[in-house]
Amino acid sequence: MRRSLFVTAVAVLSAVVLAQPAAAAEPTRDDISFTDTTVLTDICSFPVTVELTLTGTAINFFDRNGNLTRIQAHIVEHDVFTANGKTLVGLPYSFSNAVLFDPATGEVTHLYTAGVASRVPLPGGDFFLTAGRTDFASHPGAAFVLQPDVGAQGNIAGFCATLAP
In a domain, 132, yes or no: yes
What is the Cα–Cα distance from 81 to 48, expressed in whole angstroms? 7
pLDDT band at 22; cut points 50, 70, 90? low
Number of domains in the chain: 1
In a domain, 16, yes or no: no
In a domain, 34, yes or no: yes
In a domain, 3, yes or no: no
What pLDDT score was predicted for residue 2?
35
In a domain, 29, yes or no: yes
Compare 141 and 135 and report the one with higher pLDDT.
Answer: 135
Domain range holding 115? 24-163
- pTM equals 0.76
In a domain, 96, yes or no: yes
Average pLDDT, rounded, for the chain: 84
